[in-house]
Amino acid sequence: MMSSRTILAAAGLVLFSTTATWAGDVRIMWYSDGVEGEVFKDLIKRFEKENPDIHVTVDEVAYSTIKEQLPVQLAAGHGPDIARVTNLKSLSQYWLDLTPYLKDVDFWKKNYGDQLDWMRPDGSDIIPGFMTQITLTGGFANKTLFEQAGVPLPGEGAIWEDWVMAAKKVADSQQIPYPFAIDRSGHRITGPAISYGANYIGADGTPAPLDDGAKKFISDLVGWTKDGIAEKDVWVSAAGTTYRPAADDFINAQVAFYYAGSWQIPNFMTKIGDAFDWVATGSPCGPAACTGMPGGAGLVAMKATKNPEDVAKVMDYLASSPVAKEFSERTLFLPANKEVLAGDLDFKTDSQLAKDALKIFVKATSTTAPEAQELPGWKWSDTYYGALVSRVGQVMAGELSLDEAYKRIDQDIADKVKEAQ
């Protein structure tokens, strides 16, 4: 028979285990676009085998949870020990400086140094984490539909107008509802806007008012939407700053030309399969450039963690070149690690379409405009993107004129800057 002391001790243990963070416990908040969650959990299992004293819990959540709930948790002093995030700069005050805990700081600086400014406060030299993947926005064309319509794919150097009009010809010929689609996202329309000559960053580093380049692309996009060339549904299907991808319409062959980014490659490979042929097209050109927007997701450590040493061990393991290489090869993501990039990447896929698309995105990185390179490390990017997406959505829904939207975008950004000061 169990003594009452044993029962009390057990009860105490259970109670304590539910409220306390044990040394050796590391909690990671992770979201997935495709298969990377499975790959990541597999790598973590291997880490736990090699480090039996550290227990890692992976909480797989929706992207919207990371975007909407993580900032509130962090501001309240809670949250995971590590998280995979995309809004790296605007939350950088919550990231932990891993420098004192890392095994080899020089390795981190050498291999991940180019993107460290994207995730640390302005003027800081901390190492809060690393990019799990680098992404670049760019287009995808439904090659089968183009071929069936007898419309040649616009070649290198083709401008936005060329692509959009070619897609319209395909849609008319093949009786599909949308010639062209672009995600409902401020980040997504920024690459094309920069190609049209936009620059969001003012002389003093604060947001500049919308310039003619940005206005021109927005007005073209709104015009294409009004003419039924660009998909309206995805843009008007939500209010505010809500992110909406048009990937499902492309996967279902409802769109001839789709502007998204490199992170969609594994998704298309899995979901489209043999249904039709698709190709990555890079970013169409504007008068100023032919640029996509760089970006990506980073794995960052939290300042509020109780176990910085264990967190650093996990981060060291995941950032190491063999693990980063395996992660990229299995997920088909472009790696950030320079050593891995320089070596031979053997993407684990039989799909020639995916391999060709990856090559095109790697090639497109060379045409990324300097204005686009600066934005991931600029702290007002998310503010700018938010204002763009909510107001352009209203224009497309017929609630605002273009001129009213331009004024509102500038005002929204100015309000946010004032509020933050």
Partner 1 sequence: MADNRKGFRSTAGSLVLAAVERIMGIIDIPLRGLQKVAGRTGMAAFFLLPNMAVFTIFVLIPFVINFVYSMTGGAQIFLDQRRYVGLDQYRQIFSCTDYLDPNSCIQDGFWIAAGNTAWFVVIQVALMILVSLITAIILNREIVGRSFWRAVFFFPVLLSPVVVGLIWRWILDRQGLLNFILYEAFGSEPFNWLTDRTTAFAATIGVSVWAHMGFYTLILLAGLQAIPKDLYEAAQMDGTSRSRVFRRITLPLLMPNLVVVLVLALIRAVQVFDEVFVLTHGGPGTSTMYLIQYIYETGFASELRNPGLAAAASILMGAVLVVLTLMQMAASRRKEKKGER
Footprint (CB under 8 A) of partner 1, residues 355-374? none
In this chain, which of 242, 270, 321, 365 binds partner 1, going by CB under 8 A?
242
Q: Please tell me the distance from the alpha carbon of residue 178 to that of residue 280, in angstroms, as a whole number.
A: 18
Cα–Cα distances (Å) from 378 to 47, 120, 212, 295, in that order, read 34, 10, 21, 12
Q: Minimum distance between the CB of residue 223 and partner 1, rounded to whole angstroms?
A: 17
Task: Report if residue 382 touches partner 1, rule: CB under 8 A.
Answer: yes
Q: Closest CB to partner 1 among 24 and 386?
A: 386
Helical (H) or strand (E) element with 269: helix 265-272
Q: Closest CB to partner 1 among 241 and 307?
A: 241
Task: Report if residue 404 touches partner 1, rule: CB under 8 A.
Answer: yes
Phi, psi of 371 (to 5 degrees): -60, -35
In this chain, which of 236, 285, 301, 332 binds partner 1, going by CB under 8 A?
236
Contact 136, 261 (CB under 8 A): yes
Tokens at residue 102, please? 């890392």
In this chain, which of 51, 408, 410, 414 binds partner 1, going by CB under 8 A?
408
Q: Find the part of the chain contacting partner 1 (CB under 8 A) among 13-21, 151-159, 201-209, 391-399.
A: 391-399
| Beta-carbon-side half-sphere exposure of residue 163 (alpha carbons within 13 Å) | 32
In this chain, which of 253, 386, 402, 410 binds partner 1, going by CB under 8 A?
386
Task: Report if residue 72 touches partner 1, rule: CB under 8 A.
Answer: yes
The site string for partner 1 over 210-229 (x = CB under 8 A, - otherwise) reads --------------------
Q: Find the part of the chain contacting partner 1 (CB under 8 A) among 5-13, 125-133, 311-319, 405-413.
A: 405-413
DSSP for 372-416, please give it. Answer: HHHGGG-TTHHHHHHHHHHHHHHHHTTSS-HHHHHHHHHHHHHHH
In this chain, which of 115, 241, 281, 368 binds partner 1, going by CB under 8 A?
241
Q: Find the part of the chain contacting partner 1 (CB under 8 A) among 66-74, 213-221, 271-279, 322-330.
A: 66-74
- Within a 10 A sphere around the Cβ of 163, how many other Cβ atoms? 23
Partnered with residue 299 across adjacent β-strands are 84, 130
Alpha-carbon 361 to chain mean position: 15
The site string for partner 1 over 18-57 (x = CB under 8 A, - otherwise) reads ----------------------------------------
Q: Please tell me the distance from the alpha carbon of residue 377 to that of residue 317, in angstroms, as a whole number.
A: 25
Position of tokens 């650093």? 312
Q: Closest CB to partner 1 among 320 and 390?
A: 390
| Beta-carbon-side half-sphere exposure of residue 317 (alpha carbons within 13 Å) | 18
Footprint (CB under 8 A) of partner 1, residues 165-184? 177
| Beta strands, E only, 203-312 | 255-261, 278-282, 294-301
Task: Report if residue 275 touches partner 1, rule: CB under 8 A.
Answer: no
Q: Closest CB to partner 1 among 84 and 89?
A: 89
Task: Report if residue 417 touches partner 1, rule: CB under 8 A.
Answer: no
Contact 190, 385 (CB under 8 A): yes
Q: Minimum distance between the CB of residue 225 and partner 1, rounded to whole angstroms?
A: 11
Tokens at residue 234, please? 């995805």
Task: Report if residue 155 touches partner 1, rule: CB under 8 A.
Answer: no
169 burial via Cβ count (<10 Å: 0-12, 13-18, 19+) = middle
Footprint (CB under 8 A) of partner 1, residues 307-336? none
Task: Report if residue 122 touches partner 1, rule: CB under 8 A.
Answer: no
Contact 336, 296 (CB under 8 A): yes
Phi, psi of 268 (to 5 degrees): -65, -40
Q: Please tell me the distance from the alpha carbon of residue 401 to that of residue 294, in angstroms, as a whole number.
A: 30
Contact 94, 124 (CB under 8 A): no
In this chain, which of 225, 264, 305, 383 binds partner 1, going by CB under 8 A?
383
Q: Find the part of the chain contacting partner 1 (CB under 8 A) among 97-105, 280-288, 290-298, 406-414.
A: 406-414
Q: Closest CB to partner 1 among 52 and 240?
A: 240
Task: Report if residue 387 touches partner 1, rule: CB under 8 A.
Answer: yes
In this chain, which of 116, 210, 372, 396 binds partner 1, going by CB under 8 A?
396
Binding positions for partner 1, rule: CB under 8 A: 67-69, 71-72, 75-76, 87, 90, 177, 232-233, 236-242, 252, 382-383, 385-387, 390, 393-394, 396-400, 404, 408, 411-412, 415-416, 419-420
